[in-house]
Amino acid sequence: MHTVVVGTSGVTASDVLAVARTGARIEISPEALAALAAARQVVDALAAKPEPVYGVSTGFGALATRHISQELRARLQRNIVRSHAAGMGPRVEREVVRALMFLRLKTVCSGHTGVRPEVALTMAAILNAGITPVVHEYGSLGCSGDLAPLSHCALTLMGEGEAEGPDGVVRPAAELLAEHGIAPVELREKEGLALLNGTDGMLGMLIMALADLETLYKSADVTAALSLEALLGTDKVLAPELHAIRPHPGQGASAANMLAVLKDSGLTGHHQDDAPRVQDAYSVRCAPQVAGAGRDTLAHARLVAERELASAVDNPVVLPDGRVESNGNFHGAPVAYVLDFLAIAAADLASIAERRTDRLLDKNRSHGLPPFLADDAGVDSGLMIAQYTQAALVSEMKRLAVPASADSIPSSAMQEDHVSMGWSAARKLRTAVDNLTRVLAIELYAASRAVELREGLTPAPATQAAITALRKAGVEGPGPDRFLAPDLAAADDFVRTGQLVTAVEGVTGPLG
């Protein structure tokens, strides 16, 4: 099994994905263990002094003015975890919980949090055992980080609350730890706070969304190319020289992908046949511009994620010179903004795909295709309601594109008076990504059927490879009406798992 080594820095997005999605094992490097021990010495020295230090010998948030005596400090750390584990609603997905736990471990190992080495080792042991704390949908305002979700994880570390075992069964955390020989941690000064104070949940969801969207943007170039073929459009608008004079990188990449997919197509360039037209509709002609803008948004979001991966987010932090200083680095604004940007871009990509699908089904705009791509229109309804489903998905995506980060709601007796709502931005982006996959699957389903209905015309080798692979995946081609939901579900799986991109790249080589 793949092993991820956590040092004081250098965790990558691929490391996060490996731990979250494929169960990679975790090791903590000797360098990180030494940094943990050194930072802990600083905290222990401060804890022994009579002067109050935030997070070490004081209360938290609006209660930071109270100095806590030594005999109460272990109780203080337990209590912050218990009281902050106040989430409600449905359980969050296993991959999200594993990502946020791993990212918190990454920050702990930076040596800036003052946590003891045994705490980090226990976190790694829990992840390696396949134990996943029960975390709930609601409870994070994205400031100070993802408090409630991280608190539910810390609760498991203490042997309290509930967690899911490797068998998928939810049980008391104490039982699961005991079964795997993991001793619960008794938290000491600053450790409870250090386990709760980060942007790890929203960052983990951003990293997973970026991975999914990278595949979906390639998929969108393929489905747009298929629709262009099916509508007998022109590929002249994809010429590199046209995109060179408006040098947005994403636009150029999308146009190049579509051009590669359409190479040697017998369906393109029929503008002056039976129904002459000067130009294709915007949804066809401007596909690279819209998808390209989304690609550039992805690039910006990836840069933000890389910077956040390189960060040590905690409050207070242990600095290299031995100072322990309060800060505002836990605020989720940088991550929240790009999560919202991605939801906007995904909604627009879905919207333009739905317009192409609608055009394929409308006999007045499809340039010779049967109404709704039906076998016997009137007797058969064809894909009429598949487009309804697509429209409903797009409508929801437009609602999900309303920014969460533009909102703020004060908390903690006005101490935390401006919050990021980054967790909410991440949660709605996950739904948007799922919906975008379904929208592109419906366009693929319609466009592949439309291409096959163009009798006597030969599609491009790449698009033919996509259609062939789709049919082998159990998605049927043209014919009389049938129970459509299973076909659409299979098409969704075909796009979601990357099979569409793989089939096309078998002909074109790697897409950009």
Q: Which residues are catalytic?
A: 54
Spatial contact of 18 and 24, defined as CB atoms under 8 Å apart: yes
Spatial contact of 199 and 86, defined as CB atoms under 8 Å apart: no
The whole-angstrom separation of Cα 43 and Cα 116 is 10
| Burial class of 395 by CB neighbour count within 10 A (0 to 12, 13 to 18, 19+) | middle
What residue type is assigned to position 383 of the chain? Answer: L
Nearest residue to 273 (alpha-carbon basis) of 456, 483, 9: 456
Residue 91 three-state SS: strand
Here the tokens at position 41 are: 């010495």
Looking up tokens 């990180």 gives 32
What residue type is assigned to position 159 of the chain? Answer: G
Q: What angle do CA 236, 391, 496 make, to 5 degrees?
A: 75
Helices (H) and strands (E) in the chain, counts: 19, 9
The whole-angstrom separation of Cα 163 and Cα 184 is 13
Query: At a CB cut-off of 8 Å and minimum separation 6, what does 2 contact?
Result: 18, 22, 24, 25
Q: What angle do CA 120, 125, 31 make, to 5 degrees?
A: 40
Spatial contact of 119 and 185, defined as CB atoms under 8 Å apart: yes
Radius of gyration of the chain (CA): 26
Cα distances (angstroms) measured from residue 349 to each of 234, 288, 368, 443:
20, 10, 26, 12
Helical H runs in 109-186? Answer: 117-128, 147-157, 173-179
Spatial contact of 397 and 357, defined as CB atoms under 8 Å apart: no
Helical H runs in 231-327? Answer: 240-244, 249-261, 282-285, 287-309
The whole-angstrom separation of Cα 409 and Cα 428 is 18
The whole-angstrom separation of Cα 307 and Cα 247 is 26
